[in-house]
Amino acid sequence: MKAKLALAFPYLCAAAILALVFAMDHVGPQAGATPQMSCHEAAATGAAVGMKGIPDSLYYGSVAFILLLSFFVIEVRNRSGRHPGPGRPRKDLLASKRLRALLVHPLTRFVAQSLFVACFLIIIAAVLFGNQLPTKNVAPLVTWTIWWCGLVLLVMYLGKAWCYVCPWDAISGWAEGLRLWGVRREGLSLGLPWPRPLRNIWPATIFFIGLTWIELGFGVTGKPRATAWLALTMLGLAFASAFIFDRKSFCRYGCLVGRVSGLYALFSPIEIRARDREVCRSCGTHSCYKGNENGDPCPTFQFLGTMEQNTYCIACMECVKTCEAENVALQLRPWGEDLLTHHKPRSDEAYLALLMLSLTGFHGLTMTPSWGRLVEWMRLSLGLSESLAFSFGMALVMLGPLAAYALLVALSRWSSGEPGAAYRDHFIRYAYALLPIALFYHLAHNSEHLLMEGQRLLAMVSDPFGFEWNLFGTSAWTPQPLTSVEALWAVQIVLIVIGHVYSLWAARKAAAELFSKERGALLSQLPMLAAMILFSSMSLWLLKQPMQMRMSWM
């Protein structure tokens, strides 16, 4: 029973959140009650009732709840005397012969990729040849609201499913391999090894920082043609890597979407693993790594017998095709299992995790009035141009949380009262524990865009190019937001609390690995607890601010 509940928990969370939205939106106000306000109406009247129309008492109550919950979780864990470890329950979805047959069929991935390639090409055509007013062009809405926001939700429930259908990978792979499906025989790639100094995810991290700077600093979300050039740049990088380097090196080291989703996928309830490690140890062919007549070698250089995390798997299913022993499992598992597995932590992953936390918060901050006031103050006080003031502010927001985290790690190590591991090990291991806070803030922030703006797609799909078409008879529709401000705030609080609890859980595991004594492990967590409360409280503060929607110019 406990195993089934653990497996079902992620889906129960989704059902509970949907039920909460339904209850708050459909158990309507009583007679004489004040009608619900839209986001922009609530923001306009924020002086009377608090930002977004949310009472300040509810915000402070949420922060207090997180504070009490934090100490409760720590105390319960301390009394139990048990260290959290990898969960036991798993359910192998490949036990279904029909699903297995579908996944190994050569046309399955081709059909799935083709659908997304078609959407990609339509969007590129819309931004290159369509109306350049963002109010008339479907591309900004699909790219920055539907896809970018939906990607986080997809990772949280289906892991690396986006990599399975990625149009950049599909187009470059078809061109280089000279085939649309089936086993790759002869290709056009030079097959050079990826440069050894760059065999880490620093290239992807640099691209992630650069994309954030370009996206927010130059207002790309409201410029259709700029959106197209970013998409084509990604395609160009995928092409260059496919024709120069061995396998899919860009997916492993350079793709910012793949690496960000790869770290988030540590939390996913889906994994691809070996059913039995002993079978892998006795395997003489290593076909999952090298490939055979049934499928390609692993594109990201993974050997199934030693793969313990989702980070670098791109869910291509080639190992399912090539393993002669049928020793590959596509497993359903509880949330966050990879955060509890014993693995060698990496500094490049740790820094990306911390930057994901600070930059997702930065996305939210730039959509609030506070950011505009800060940039204007720097511009006038320091005599900077607007772009330099933005860049300076971004650097402060990006590096500030890293500096605070580094200080708290030092305090954590000192407060434990025992030597423990080196400072570097503390810094890296505890960074992974912050991933759930980043993931659920990212989801909470993006839920506002999806629920308040995503419905506009119903109207714009009839006229994607802005040519005054009405293909499906919906172009004149003016759909309302999918939920109220009050229901949205409740959903966001729930998401922040879930991420906070899972971060506490992961921090407990990190402390157990760093310290041999229970007392040292507990004391070391207290500064990290302060960091998590700080980051979760800041997440709530950002979500509480009146936010300029990406499609507000509509």
Mean pLDDT of 286-298: 93
Question: Which pLDDT value is given to residue 358?
Answer: 93
Mean pLDDT of 21-29: 66
Mean pLDDT of 213-232: 88
Question: Which pLDDT value is given to residue 118?
Answer: 96
Question: Which pLDDT value is given to residue 175?
Answer: 94
Question: Which pLDDT value is given to residue 521?
Answer: 78
Q: Output the CA–CA distances (angstroms, integers) from residue 110 to 71, 150, 174, 292, 329, in the order listed.
A: 50, 22, 10, 19, 22
The string over 439-467, giving b where at least 16 C-beta atoms fall within 10 Å of a residue's C-beta and e elsewhere, is bbbbbbbbbbbbbbbbebbebbebbbbbe
Structure confidence at residue 510 as a pLDDT band (50, 70, 90): confident
Lowest mean pLDDT among 66-70, 213-217, 280-284, 474-478: 66-70
446-489 pLDDT, tens digit per residue, is 888 888 888 889 999 999 999 999 999 998 888 888 888 888 88
Mean pLDDT of 244-254: 95
Mean pLDDT of 280-292: 93
Q: Say what percent of the chain tops pLDDT 90.
A: 46
Both tokens of residue 372?
Answer: 């505009």
Question: Which pLDDT value is given to residue 200?
Answer: 95
Do 505 and 84 form a contact (C-beta atoms < 8 A)?
yes
Q: Say what percent of the chain tops pLDDT 70.
A: 86
Q: Is the pLDDT of residue 327 over 60?
A: yes
419-443 pLDDT, tens digit per residue, is 667 889 889 999 999 999 999 999 9
355-414 pLDDT, tens digit per residue, is 999 998 898 898 888 888 889 999 888 888 888 999 999 999 999 989 999 999 999 888
536-553 pLDDT, tens digit per residue, is 888 888 888 777 665 544
Round the average pLDDT of the chain to a whole number and report it: 85
**Which is nearest to 146 in space by CA: 375, 482, 396?**
482
Question: Which pLDDT value is given to residue 531?
Answer: 83
Mean pLDDT of 284-310: 93
Mean pLDDT of 188-195: 94
Provide long-range contacts, Cβ within 8 A and 24+ apart, for 344-347: 345/425, 345/428, 345/429, 345/431, 345/432, 346/200, 346/428, 347/424, 347/428
Mean pLDDT of 228-244: 94
Mean pLDDT of 15-29: 72
Degrees to nearest 5, angle at CA 191 with 185 and 194:
140
Question: Which residue intervals of 317-434 are DSSP H helices?
Answer: 318-322, 347-366, 369-382, 386-415, 423-433
**Which is nearest to 375 in space by CA: 358, 396, 359, 361?**
396
Question: Which pLDDT value is given to residue 195?
Answer: 95
Question: Which pLDDT value is given to residue 32?
Answer: 40
Q: How far apart are CA 248 and CA 237, in angstroms?
A: 11
Both tokens of residue 135?
Answer: 């109010």
Mean pLDDT of 306-315: 93
Q: Is the pLDDT of residue 72 over 60?
A: yes
**Which is nearest to 318 in space by CA: 337, 306, 338, 303?**
303
Q: Is the pLDDT of residue 299 over 50?
A: yes
More confident residue, 55 or 164: 164
Q: Is the pLDDT of residue 523 over 90?
A: no
330, β-bridge pairs:
272
Question: Which pLDDT value is given to residue 51?
Answer: 45
Question: Which pLDDT value is given to residue 45?
Answer: 38
More confident residue, 47 or 450: 450
Structure confidence at residue 33 as a pLDDT band (50, 70, 90): very low
Question: Which pLDDT value is given to residue 402?
Answer: 92
Q: Is the pLDDT of residue 41 over 70?
A: no
Q: Is the pLDDT of residue 2 over 80?
A: no
Question: Which pLDDT value is given to residue 480?
Answer: 83
Q: How far apart are CA 443 and CA 436, in angstroms?
A: 10
Give the residue carrying structure tokens 């499928």: 295
> Ramachandran region of residue 486, left (φ > 0), alpha (ψ -120 to 50) or beta?
alpha
